[in-house]
Every structure is written in structure tokens, then in C-alpha cells.
Chains A and B, each alone.
Chain A
Amino acid sequence: DTEVTQTPKHLVMGMTNKKSLKCEQHMGHRAMYWYKQKAKKPPELMFVYSYEKLSINESVPSRFSPECPNSSLLNLHLHALQPEDSALYLCASSQLGNTIYFGEGSWLTVV
């Protein structure tokens, strides 16, 4: 069973707030990902963790801060976001070099 669980499903935050998105998988996958998806566009890769170490950062602004506390968890810390950061944030996981499975996403609105 392939399942990636994301919380919260919806988040509204002000530009001065600090919040976090959370992601969990119990498939034993050693790679975890954050993607950002704007309306009517494909997902864009933000970060990749391999064996709990950051392996790819696609030049994401520092107001987005990823964290991988262990092999099952992935967080995305949000601070001082802008309205244009409003989007669907997708977490995903995979075995290294294998099929990537996505979660249901967290809908973020920055006001």
C-alpha cells in the first residue's frame, strides 16, 4: 500500500506567521521530496532528501526551510511568506531511483 500522509490539508497564514507542513510515510522509502504546484501547472521540485540528508535544493528562497527528523518524516517550515507563495504543496517519497509516490497535498493560502 503506497501512502504518503500530509497535514494540514488546508492552511491560511499571514505574512508574519511561522507555520509548518508535515509529511509522513511508512513504506521504508529513503528519499523524500517537497514539490510546489500552482494552479494549472505541473508540480515543481523544491527539495529532495536522501537518507535524511538534503541532496537537492532547487534554489528555493530561505523563507522555506525543510527538515527531515527521521526516515519517515519530512517537514517544511514556513516563515515570512508572500501571497505569491500560495499554492498546493506536495510531499512525495520513493526508494532511491524508483517510482515517486505523492501525498494528497497541503493547500496553502498566504494573506
Chain B
Amino acid sequence: GDSVTQMEGPVTLSEEAFLTINCTYTATGYPSLFWYVQYPGEGLQLLLKATKADDKGSNKGFEATYRKETTSFHLEKGSVQVSDSAVYFCALSGLGAQKLVFGQGTRLTINP
């Protein structure tokens, strides 16, 4: 079945550092790929998405590129802020599927 493997956390960085959170997937066909973010005490927010190979999703300074050849969707940000501290979930959805397959989540802490 479909699966998502995320970089294990927790990840701790200093403010203004470069961020990469790795995400790889296994799926049949051409899934859509997502990054969701969950701030402390809150629900999930869609951070960005990509629906086909070589698409780049971007939002709030975060970027991720759908790489079919490496089955990856790594999340990057050039300069993180304390306010980026949250749990980040990589997820996929098969074509027409009504289910999201989540990775285990990566807890990110940014120190001032």
C-alpha cells in the first residue's frame, strides 16, 4: 500500500538557519503530495501542495518540489523563525482517493 516516510525528529535549529525536512513516499500511480503544519494546540493547516511531477509548492517561505525519480517531497526554508516551531506532516493522496496517508510528523523547534 501507499506510505510516507518522514525524517525523524525532533529537529532543533537556531533562528535564521536553513531548514530541510526529508520526505519520501511509496505509491502506485501519480499521487498528490502535501505538507501540513500543526502549531501547538491547534489543528492541521495546509502549508503547500504539488499535484504532478516537477511541480513546486510554496507558501510562507517554505518550498517543496515533487520529485518522481527519487519519490521525494522534501520541505525547505531558507531562514527559519521562532514562529515556525511546529509539527510538520508530509502526506499523499492517490488520484481520486478520499484518504490522506501521513508520515509520522517532524517536530521542529527554533531557538532565538
Could you list which residues of chain A lie within 8 angstroms of chain B, going by C-beta atoms?
A: 2, 6, 31, 33, 40-43, 45, 48, 50, 55-56, 88, 90, 94, 96-97, 99-105
Q: How many B residues touch A, CB cutoff 8 Å?
A: 22
How far does the alpha carbon of A2 sit from the alpha carbon of B36 in the complex, in Å? 14
Find the residue from A50, A88, A100 having the highest chain B CB count within 10 A: A100
Which B residues lie at the A interface, using CB under 8 A? 32, 34, 36, 42-46, 49, 89, 93, 95-100, 102-105, 107
- Chain A residues, Cβ within 8 Å of B97: 97
Decide if A96 touches B105 in the complex (CB within 8 Å). Answer: no
Q: Pick 21 A–B contacts, CB within 8 A, sort by A.
A: A31-B98, A40-B107, A41-B105, A42-B104, A43-B100, A48-B98, A48-B99, A50-B98, A56-B99, A88-B43, A90-B43, A96-B96, A97-B95, A99-B34, A99-B46, A99-B49, A100-B93, A100-B100, A102-B43, A103-B43, A104-B43
Q: Which listed residue, A40, A45, A97, A104, touches B42 by the CB 8 Å rule?
A: A104
Query: If A102-B44, A104-B42, A104-B43 touch, does A45 touch B99 (CB 8 Å cutoff)?
Result: yes
A50 and B99 alpha carbons, distance in the complex (Å):
12
> How far is the CB of A5 from the nearest CB of chain B, in Å?
11
Task: Tell me whether A56 and B98 are in contact (CB under 8 A).
Answer: yes
Minimum distance in angstroms from B73 CB to a CB of chain A: 15
Instruction: Name A42's contact: one of B32, B95, B105 (CB within 8 Å).
Output: B105
Q: How distant is the Cα of A56 from the Cα of B97 in the complex, in angstroms?
A: 11
Asked if A101 contacts B98 (CB within 8 A), the reply is: no
Closest 6 CB pairs of A and B: A42-B102, A102-B44, A105-B43, A104-B43, A97-B96, A102-B43
